[in-house]
Amino acid sequence: MHILLIHQAFAALDEPGGTRHHELARHLARQGHQVTIIASPVSYLTGKGKTKRIRKQTDDLGVTIIRSATLPAIHRSFIRRVFSFLSFMISSFLNGLFVRKVDLVWGTTPPIFQGPTAWLLARLKGVPFLLEVRDLWPAFAVAVGVLHNKTLIRLSEWLERFLYKHADLVMVNSPGFVEHVRSRGAKKIALIPNGADPVMFDPEDKGTAFRQTWGLEDEFVVLYAGAHGMSNDLDVVISAAEQLQDLTQVRIVLLGDGKEKTHLMEKARENGLKNVVFIPPIPKTEMKDALAAADVCLAILKPIEMYKTTYPNKVFDYMAAGRPVVLAIDGVIRQVIEEADAGIAVPPGNPDELANAIRELLTNPEKCRKMGMSGRDAITTHYSRVKLANEFTVLLESMRRRNA
């Protein structure tokens, strides 16, 4: 089977960002399927170009990645971001027309604008259209205050409903999304949750080289790895760091990039914080070393009702690495952490509780280790990437059979 994926924010394993799609594509390739991915040459995490002149690449398993022209405006104003999305929508459609003998088109949102490209290509090629929903756009954008123009909201909601109704199958990566997509017209819904590959991580590794590189040899490292955007609420982490200055061995490490990173660095500098370390984004192939260097890992989102529906990728990577999670997110992901006894959940938006959780784990290394290994066991049992990829493969094969 030849699967065509349209994904502006796609990140390969040797690039910074979420690599769920490359991992799934490589699994499909191992099962004998052909996968072509049309992606942007601009990193969704950093806003910078990923490749200079390489337009088409094929990895060692035969997964083909086509970089489609995109305006580089990811980290600028909302309107310029929209133009960036629209540019990819058009260019990916044109590139997709030249991909031959496709059996299924896989579209993924956000950005939602690439959804119509995937739908139209599927209809023109006479093959099934799978729509993957990775967050509830535009609902999240409205909730966080990024999208407030009433006309744009109405148009976005119309497009969202159109895609749900016209997809042959809507796939969600969190159980919290099911009711939302169903209420907006999705007829067939499947859940393939976010997960992680435990083989990528060694819970016994101490990340010595990474610690030496960043001057963290004897420190208690609290690591956040991911986007530095409005939704991530990292101002709260800076405020918690202010409260932890009396603990000289604690280092809050913020690894990644995003629109808010410059502001966060300025705030830490203005407050004279010596316990906050900023590290540039790294490829997924190097993430195992960063997580191995952590004593505790941190996941946080703004205290917004809609965010209770999310299954953040980073949480599953933290668990796979065998590290306890301090979770400042309510909802379905909190249920995962608590059921697995994989960390401490604190109220989002509360720097006092965040600081208290870090203090508690600092003074109890045995609790840290026990929680970390409990989280890894949960990944192996319920959220292993191989297990989920097998379920995904069966799902795609069944869609093709129904279309035969």
The DSSP result for 245-261, as a single string, is: TT-TTEEEEEE---TTH
110 pLDDT exceeds 80?
Answer: yes
How many angstroms separate the CA atoms of 42 and 11, rounded? Answer: 10
pLDDT at 77: 64
How many angstroms separate the CA atoms of 336 and 358, rounded? Answer: 20
pLDDT at 17: 85
How many angstroms separate the CA atoms of 35 and 12, rounded? Answer: 13
Digit-coded pLDDT (tens) for 254-270 = 999 998 999 999 999 99
How many angstroms separate the CA atoms of 388 and 347, rounded? Answer: 30
**Portion of the chain with pLDDT greater than 70, in percent:** 96
pLDDT band at 39 (very low <50, low <70, confident <90, very high): very high
CATH of domain 2-195+384-403: 3.40.50.2000
Give the residue with greater pLDDT, 78 vs 358: 358
Spell out the long-range contacts of 397-402 with Cβ–Cβ below 8 A and sequence spacing 24 or more. 397/1, 399/104, 399/128, 399/130, 399/168, 399/169, 400/1, 400/103, 400/104, 400/128, 402/128, 402/168
Digit-coded pLDDT (tens) for 324-336 = 999 999 999 999 9
What is the residue extent of each domain of the chain?
2-195+384-403, 198-382
Q: Is the dihedral of CA 267, 301, 296, 191 positive or negative?
A: negative
- Of 173, 144, 177, nearest to 160 by C-alpha is 177
Distance set, CA 134 to CA 38, 122, 147, 178, 214 (Å) = 17, 20, 18, 11, 33
Q: Which residues contact 41 (CB under 8 A, 6 or more apart)?
A: 49, 50, 51, 67, 68, 69, 70
DSSP alpha helix (H) spans, 167-276: 178-183, 208-213, 234-243, 261-270
Superfamily of domain 198-382: Glycogen Phosphorylase B; (3.40.50.2000)
110 upstream amide cis, omega within 30 of 0: yes
How many angstroms separate the CA atoms of 290 and 35, rounded? Answer: 30
Task: Find the helix or strand (DSSP H, E) in which 288 lies.
Answer: helix 284-292
Q: How far is C-alpha 172 from the chain's CA centre?
A: 13
Q: Which residues contact 158 (CB under 8 A, 6 or more apart)?
A: none
129 pLDDT exceeds 70?
Answer: yes
Domains 2-195+384-403 and 198-382 share a fold: yes
Digit-coded pLDDT (tens) for 379-401 = 999 999 999 999 999 999 999 88
Q: Are 227 and 257 in contact (CB under 8 A)?
A: yes
Structure tokens at 203: 């819970």
From 50-59, 66-75, 157-166, 312-321, the region with the lowest mean pLDDT? 50-59
Mean pLDDT of 341-345: 98
